[in-house]
Amino acid sequence: MQTPMTSIACFVIAAVFGAVGQYLYKAGADATDNTIQSYLLNWKLAGGVVCYVLVMVLFVAAFKRGGAMSVLYPIYASTFIWGAVIARMAFGEPITATNIAGMAVLIAGMFLMGVGK
């Protein structure tokens, strides 16, 4: 089964939304004071939920267009790369040589998972 480029694009976009959702959860958690109100009225936490809903919508759209799960799900692993980039920009977290090596392994894995399809 050939995986359409539109399905792959949906998963790449979903990975970005997933990373943005992670950022919003972290930023939202930092803004809470452990009261129920600080969780329920926190726009960053709500934004993270919206991002994850969008991820699921994109998953469904991608699968509707066709494609192999074994090709598409490894693409979503790029969320870890996007998350590291966002963490660097938003929180000043370092990206080390070891992190870059891990990213390279993720990219190689995504490629290898899709080659046989």
pLDDT digits (tens), the chain, 117 positions:
688 999 999 999 999 999 999 999 999 999 999 899 999 999 999 999 999 999 999 999 999 999 888 888 888 989 999 999 999 999 999 999 999 999 999 899 888 887 655
What 3 state SS string does the chain have? CCCCHHHHHHHHHHHHHHHHHHHHHHHHHHCCCCCHHHHHCCHHHHHHHHHHHHHHHHHHHHHHHCCCHHHHHHHHCCHHHHHHHHHHHHHCCCCCHHHHHHHHHHHHHHHHHHHCC
> What's the confidence (pLDDT) of residue 17?
98
The residue count of the chain comes to: 117
* Amino acid at site 95: I
39-to-17, 28, 30, 55, 86 alpha-carbon distances in Å: 21, 8, 11, 22, 22
> What's the confidence (pLDDT) of residue 69?
87
> What's the confidence (pLDDT) of residue 68?
85
Domain ranges of the chain: 5-115
Check if the beta carbon of residue 5 is closer than 8 Å to that of residue 67: no
> What's the confidence (pLDDT) of residue 109?
87
> What's the confidence (pLDDT) of residue 74?
87
> What's the confidence (pLDDT) of residue 113?
80
Instruction: Look at the pTM and tell me if it is higher than 0.85.
Output: yes
